[in-house]
Amino acid sequence: MTVWYLSIVSAILAGTCLLGCASSHRNPYRDMPRDSQQAQALAHYVTGLLWESNRNGTADVAQAFAAAHRLDPDSRPPLDALVIRLLQTGQTHEALDQLEAFCRQHPADVTARTDLARLAEVNHEFARAAQAYDEAYHLQPDDLPLAFARIRVLFGDGRDGEALKSMRRLYREHPGLDTRSLPAYWAIQFNRRAPSAPRALPCLELACEITTSATQRVAMRFLYGEVALATGQTNLAIQAFQDTLALNPQHLRAVTSLARVLYQAHGAAAITAQMRQVRNAATDVPGLLTLAALHLAAQDRTNAAAALARTRDALRAQQLRPPSDFYLLYGATLDELGRRDEAAELLLEALRHHPRAHLLMNYLAYLWAVANVHIETAAHWAQLAVKLAPRNGAYLDTLGWVRFRQQRLEESLDLLLRARAQLPDDPTILDHIGDVLASLQRTPEAAAYWIRSYALDPRQPPVADKLRAAGVNPDTIPRLEPRAIAPDPEDLDDE
């Protein structure tokens, strides 16, 4: 029996301290009538405590506590002492049986039922726990934590249908943020664990049904599509992405996910069909976005850029402001086509509409830093992005590279090392650190960073050339897998 387990049990059985501490039980019956039966119960109880405190003794402690409980069956201290002793000796089922018998004799005792439920849950007896939580909740129907706990153990017992019905009924009886958010919470929990991801889908359906927020409904339908896609349910995924776009025609992630599925399923035929659909549809924003995403799925950036230009025109015609992620996708597409000046002009336009979109600031600054143009303006945007998200490793890398272009090498190295602290296995950051170290005449250190960068991503001909110049054969470098790191909330666009 571990200390962790006993601490949980002790917390569950409120009113009873860990055994072996007789002073905490000086007079457990001080409020009870002093008749002979209770006196005998007290004697057995104290005897059990004394025997237990004698760690070298062989006396049957549980027997003493059991005798005390039989003589005084309405008092909790002897029962709790007996239950903990049974648990200490590995007799879990017997301990639960004792608590259950007490609950039958005391049908209005909410605390006893809650204790039974928690102890059963700790021991993964979920069906027993669900029954006890249900009885406790019916005695205290305004105690939402009891209702939440019952839903938890129903899911633990694999009774998802009952859990969903309980969540729906709970929201109907107690409408509020906590009960409305519960299905989404469970969907996220299931989706985080690959084997249980399909269990998220009914929770997401319920979340969409009861939410009062249009934004939440969009988010739930999109997540439904992503989960369905991950679990191989392509038709469900397509329908969910289409539903998302019906609710929010500018939902770019839904567009790209839908296009990816359609292209994988139908190839060039999907592009042809989409082109036919939007040929004369000047204001079909979802259709035009889908066409652009299909072209990108086919690695055709030229036609993707043309479709994105039509999308921007469609938005303007309807006096709609393009979202920041649209500008980012369009700008990146132009950049990858070598149309850097157009991309920069587009990003500047985007920042006029989205003045706090630090993703756009960072992209623009990095675009100019790589090209080594407009460095002072790039520094302005890079500094502002870092100010808005100071722990974002990508933004620190951009500012570090801008400082490198400005020949502020020590400052550049400090920023890049901070970036690496946030993103330890990012090949680009490692490459940049190597370049700065080489400029500081610290070639052996530079080579170490280039080696790691190349080991993480060998598809870097410029890094291979630097390694050869430093006397290292890149063909001898073993492949490395990047370490997983938890995402930082700051890495998400605040829009």
Distance CA 27, CA 217 (A): 58
Distance CA 198, CA 196 (A): 6
Record the tokens describing residue 358, joined without a space: 């630090």
Task: With cut-offs at 50, 70 and 90, classify the pLDDT of residue 70.
Answer: confident
pLDDT at 258: 94
What's phi and psi for 339, nearest 5 deg? -95, 65
> In sequence order, which ranges of 123-156 are alpha helices (DSSP H)?
126-139, 144-156
| Residue bearing the bigger pLDDT, 59 or 297 | 297
What's phi and psi for 482, nearest 5 deg? -65, 145
Assess whether pLDDT exceeds 50 at residue 449. yes
Q: What is the pLDDT of residues 195-248, one digit of tens each?
A: 899 999 999 999 999 999 999 999 999 999 999 999 999 999 999 999 999 999
pLDDT at 486: 53
Assess whether pLDDT exceeds 80 at residue 158. yes
Rg (CA), the chain: 32
Assess whether pLDDT exceeds 70 at residue 454. yes
Grouping H, G, I as helix, E, B as strand and the rest as coil, residue 21 is: coil
Distances (CA, A) of 41 to 38, 53, 65, 103, 436: 5, 19, 9, 20, 80
Record the tokens describing residue 83, joined without a space: 């239950």
Instruction: Report the percent of the chain where pLDDT is more than 90.
Output: 73
Task: With cut-offs at 50, 70 and 90, classify the pLDDT of residue 58.
Answer: very low
Q: Give yes or no for a contact between 15 and 28, defined as CB atoms under 8 angstroms apart.
A: no
DSSP string, 78-103: HHHHHHHHHHHTT-HHHHHHHHHHHH
| Residue bearing the bigger pLDDT, 402 or 36 | 402
Instruction: Report the percent of the chain where pLDDT is more than 70.
Output: 85
Distance CA 80, CA 86 (A): 10
pLDDT at 232: 92
Range 30-59 average pLDDT:
45
Distance CA 267, CA 335 (A): 25
Range 141-170 average pLDDT:
96
Question: 11-15, 145-149, 403-407 — which is least confidently predicted?
Answer: 11-15
Record the tokens describing residue 68, joined without a space: 């005390």
Q: Give yes or no for a contact between 442 and 450, defined as CB atoms under 8 angstroms apart.
A: no
Distances (CA, A) of 462 to 45, 288, 453, 458, 495: 79, 37, 11, 10, 35
| Residue bearing the bigger pLDDT, 177 or 65 | 177
Distance CA 257, CA 222 (A): 9
| Residue bearing the bigger pLDDT, 275 or 43 | 275
Task: With cut-offs at 50, 70 and 90, classify the pLDDT of residue 3.
Answer: very low
Question: 1-5, 337-341, 373-377 — which is least confidently predicted?
Answer: 1-5
pLDDT at 356: 96
pLDDT at 51: 45
pLDDT at 12: 44
Range 253-272 average pLDDT:
94
Query: CA nearest 449: which of 407, 374, 397?
Result: 397
pLDDT at 28: 44
Helices (H) and strands (E) in the chain, counts: 26, 0
Q: What is the pLDDT of residues 99-142, one digit of tens each?
A: 899 999 999 999 999 999 999 999 999 999 999 999 999 999 99
pLDDT at 304: 97
Distances (CA, A) of 392 to 48, 177, 355, 411, 417: 60, 31, 18, 17, 12
Distance CA 43, CA 133 (A): 34
Q: Give yes or no for a contact between 227 and 201, defined as CB atoms under 8 angstroms apart.
A: yes
